[in-house]
Amino acid sequence: MSLTLASLDAINSNWVEQCMGKCLAPEDRGVESHTFQQIGEGIGQLGSFGILEVETQAGTKRSFFLKIQAATKDFHQLCLDYQYYAREVNFYQHSAKTVACRTAHPYYVEFNHERSEVLLVLEYMANWHTPDQIVGASRHQIEMAIEALIPINTQYWNRTQELSWLPDSKAPFMLQLADDMVANHQVFLERFGHLLSESQRQKLEQIIAYYPRFAEIFTQGTQTLSHWDFRVENIFYSSDESEVAVIDWQLSLAHKPGWDLAYLLTTNIDIELRREIFESSVAQYQRGLLAAGIEYSQEKLMKNMCQSMCAITAFSVIGGGNCDWENERSVLLFRKITERLFSAIDDYDAIKALV
């Protein structure tokens, strides 16, 4: 029987009893009582979230993180079109236990194709926290994020075929990015165009015209596991920030190296801090590759990163074009992403990588 929910409002005692039958250990002897709190409004664009706290009949207390499909119609359709729900369920079913980083333990995951609903019941990481992407991550938080990224990328370096569930940029649903860039271009400009200089608007037009070529570019040469949404709100930090855990794998992709690093550095920190630490951050990543026995030139990596910066404009154009305009935090998040990203495209003359 499917346990997916039409909305978090549908959670009741009967559902909790059935769900916990999949999640609790036998010695817990079932559910005595529960409480539920919805969280994360305006933070996660591609899902709805909550914390389920359960007191068991054995007297123990357990907490779980719940994630279901996006509440807004446009983002829900986006998740279906790009198979975000299916990809995240595949990751937790097939790769969560072996991926070379800490991630939330999955107790129960399901994607109901008929109802277009998804449910993830995951480890609740109490006393861990995520930085606010709008405020921007600190230098230390970025350094820790890169240390977590290195083994994610190196583990399946030129071995992505071992992940049979993992798509690449030539997957049919990924090819529609080019059309969606065109379709959302005008709405994006109406909402966020005032943030762009005339030169940046022209560069965006170049990128949109070039976009159909990215599928070929990003599937040539070295391929590795890419988180593809490697932003600080998808990274949990321990209370003293000595450990990190990576969550939210619904955009996972086989990809050229450099996408995750470019996305982290160009959309997650204030512009001045990015300018200050960019070179040292790239050097840190390359040292990590070398420590894993991988030689990859700075020239190749920077070209990949510049191409990625240009393609990452899809987050601004498609995401910003579909975000809930009534949600102040959502709008501010896409504003920050857009300002930071186009500044980086200018600073590193990324448009020259589109040859």
Residue 69 — very low, low, confident or very high, per pLDDT cuts 50/70/90?
Answer: very high
Residue 306 and residue 205 share a domain: yes
Q: Is 205 domain-assigned? A: yes
Q: Which of 54, 88, 123 is the last residue of a domain?
A: 123
Give the span between the Cα atoms of 283 and 290, in whole angstroms: 10
Q: Is the predicted pLDDT of residue 74 greater than 90, yes or no?
A: no
Phi, psi of 220 (to 5 degrees): -90, 145
Average pLDDT of 84-104?
97
Query: How many distinct structural domains can be found in the chain?
Result: 2
CATH value at residue 218:
3.90.1200.10
Place of tokens 């290195």: 150
Residue 167 and residue 237 share a domain: yes
Q: Is 16 domain-assigned? A: yes
State which residues form the domain around 343.
139-353
Q: Is 163 domain-assigned? A: yes
Residue 70 and residue 40 share a domain: yes
Q: Is 318 domain-assigned? A: yes
Q: Which of 123, 148, 166 is the last residue of a domain?
A: 123
Residue 192 and residue 54 share a domain: no
Q: Is 144 domain-assigned? A: yes
Q: Is 131 domain-assigned? A: no
| In the chain, % of residues over pLDDT 90 | 93
Residue 280 and residue 152 share a domain: yes
So what's the pLDDT on residue 46? 83
Average pLDDT of 234-242?
97
Residue 73 and residue 145 share a domain: no
Q: Is 316 domain-assigned? A: yes
Q: Is 156 domain-assigned? A: yes
pLDDT digits (tens, 9 = 90+) for 296-338: 999 999 999 999 999 999 999 999 998 889 989 999 999 999 9
Residue 183 and residue 235 share a domain: yes
Average pLDDT of 119-140?
97
pLDDT digits (tens, 9 = 90+) for 252-279: 999 999 999 999 999 999 999 999 999 9
Residue 148 and residue 40 share a domain: no
Residue 292 and residue 205 share a domain: yes
So what's the pLDDT on residue 220? 96
Residue 152 and residue 119 share a domain: no
Q: Which of 61, 91, 123 is the last residue of a domain?
A: 123
Q: Is the predicted pLDDT of residue 43 greater than 90, yes or no?
A: no
So what's the pLDDT on residue 41? 65
Residue 187 and residue 75 share a domain: no
Could you write out the three-class secondary structure of the chain? Answer: CCCCCCCHHHCCHHHHHHHHHHHCCHHHCCEEEEEEEEECCCCCCCCEEEEEEEEECCCCEEEEEEEECCCCHHHHHHHHHCCHHHHHHHHHHHCCCCCCCCCCCEEEEEEECCCCEEEEEEECCCCCECCCCCCCCCHHHHHHHHHHHHHHHHHCCCCHHHCCCCCECCCHHHHCHHHHHHHHHHHHHHHHHHHCCHHHHHHHHHHHHHHHHHHHHCCCCCCEEECCCCCHHHEEECCCCCCEEECCCCCCEEECCCHHHHHHHHHCCCHHHHHHHHHHHHHHHHHHHHHCCCCCCHHHHHHHHHHHHHHCHHHHHHHHHHCCCCCHHHHHHHHHHHHHHHHHHHHCCHHHHCC
Residue 189 and residue 82 share a domain: no
Q: Is the predicted pLDDT of residue 42 greater than 90, yes or no?
A: no
Residue 75 — very low, low, confident or very high, per pLDDT cuts 50/70/90?
Answer: confident
CATH value at residue 36:
3.30.200
So what's the pLDDT on residue 40? 76
So what's the pLDDT on residue 91? 98
